[in-house]
Amino acid sequence: MKQTTVLILLIGLHVFTFAQQTRFISDPQKDLKQAKDYYQKEQYSLAYPILKDLQLRQRDAEKTSEALDYQEVRYYTTACALRQNEEAAVQLAKDFIDLEDNTARVQMMSFNLAEYYYRKQDFAAATALYENVSIDNLSNEEIADMKFHLGYSYFTAKEYDKAKPLFDAIRQLPKDKNYLDANYYYGFIAFNDRKYNDALTAFRVVENDKNYKNVVPYYIANIYYTQNQKEKALTYAEERLKSGGQQYDTELRHLLGHAYFEKQEFKKAVPYLEAFVTKSDKVSREDLYELSYSYYKASNWTKAIEGFKQLGGKDDSLAQNSMYLLGDSYLKTNQKANARTAFLVCASNSSNAKQREISMFNYAKLSYELGYTDVSLTEFKKFLDTYANSEYANEARELLVNVLANTNNYQEALRMIEAMPASSQNARRQYAKILYGRATELANDGMLVSANELLTKAEADPNNMSYRPYIQFWKGEIAYRLNKIDDAIRYYFEYLKSGAVNG
């Protein structure tokens, strides 16, 4: 009985072993076909275990048999692993590329390895492989993928001239999955190349796409503005800002602020420029000037002053103009001392001759008004020496006459006032004072006749009321010294009647 049982078991084991051997011999092609079918459908997780099992089941002697193409199994197993981003497959792929002699499969493996590197964002490694892949053994979809991915790899390396035609090729395939992305990147490169019509065409394709609707409006608005479609740029930019969520929100506000600044609509420019300057990490001097000038034109003197103060320190026209407007802003707020300093800085810059002229005059005038007498005396003389024919020359002369009179420099004051036209009424109001002062100097020097002539002029001047009693006194004094007693009595009597003497 025991022998019978053992015999049955042995027969069963032999049948089972034979069945397994038969399955191994007869099933590999079917399994490989199934795995390849999964692979083509991109069901890599289903294909991969079958392929791995096929590799394990093959014996060394069978790797070269006709039952199964070992190289084909190896190719699909490695390619499938790469598609699943298995790092261990990288070296297997490199070995396959280096060692196998099947050109078509080597090319396809190179493509798969390039795609792996692309997904891992190792664009340099991907580029090196893509550049050596022939499209002869790739499907149309794979060719399109490779063109876009190689284009993007070039793009990341800023090799835009190489990337552009590849993106353009995908732009001709509206049904391709990378169609929208290709249009965006092509538009970006065209914009960078100043090919604005090409850029606009590409950007309009993606302007409402969820991935780009908050990006491309900045470029489109810029293109309109650059093409001198400024009203269209303004309308478009404002509409996109209202929709919210713009990635280049600050830059769009900058564009709008600058556009309104150029249109001299300064009140509209202010909020946009203000937002740009406030939000930006780094602001150019030109941008700060536009904001400050807009404040100035909107009569916001305080903020204009705050901005212009930051724009000095350079020897260029922007710095000079800023100091000029800073000085004027200080005058508008009655800060004469600060205005005087601003005009001094402006006058030291020769970028704008007219502003230098005006600032030099204002500095002298403010020095006079603030009591810097010696400075004003020097500055008025310097101004008149430099700008003798200036529209401010007459006022400068009048003010200089006042300075000379107030510093008892009557001789020079008299010379200047008598050389001035009769229309200089402000200076003429000082005429009697100057005549009187110079006459007393001459009288004290013993030049009585010359002194008397000046006093006679002073006596006849209609603006002599403040000095008339003293003129009469000195007329009497000189007449007495010249032994003209009757004239002396008359002038002394007039002096006493004036009430200028108390007691």
Structure confidence at residue 328 (pLDDT):
97
Judge contact between 375 and 369, C-beta under 8 A: no
Q: Which two tokens stand for residue 444?
A: 């004290």
Judge contact between 401 and 413, C-beta under 8 A: yes
Listed by start position, the domains of the chain span 432-503
Structure confidence at residue 68 (pLDDT):
66
Kindly compute the dihedral angle of the four CA atoms of residues 234, 235, 240, 241, in this order, to the nearest 10 degrees.
Answer: 60
What homologous superfamily does CATH list for 432-503?
Tetratricopeptide repeat domain (1.25.40.10)
Structure confidence at residue 480 (pLDDT):
94
| Residues of the chain with confidence (pLDDT) below 70 | 1-26, 58-68, 422-423, 501-503
Structure confidence at residue 20 (pLDDT):
43
Q: Is 445 left (phi over 0), alpha (psi -120 to 50) or beta?
A: alpha
Question: What is the Cα–Cα distance from 339 to 335, expressed in whole angstroms?
Answer: 6
In tens, the pLDDT along 112-159 reads 999 999 999 999 999 999 999 999 989 999 999 999 999 999 999 999
Kindly compute the dihedral angle of the four CA atoms of residues 77, 83, 86, 92, in this order, to the nearest 10 degrees.
Answer: 50
Question: What is the Cα–Cα distance from 113 to 123, expressed in whole angstroms?
Answer: 12
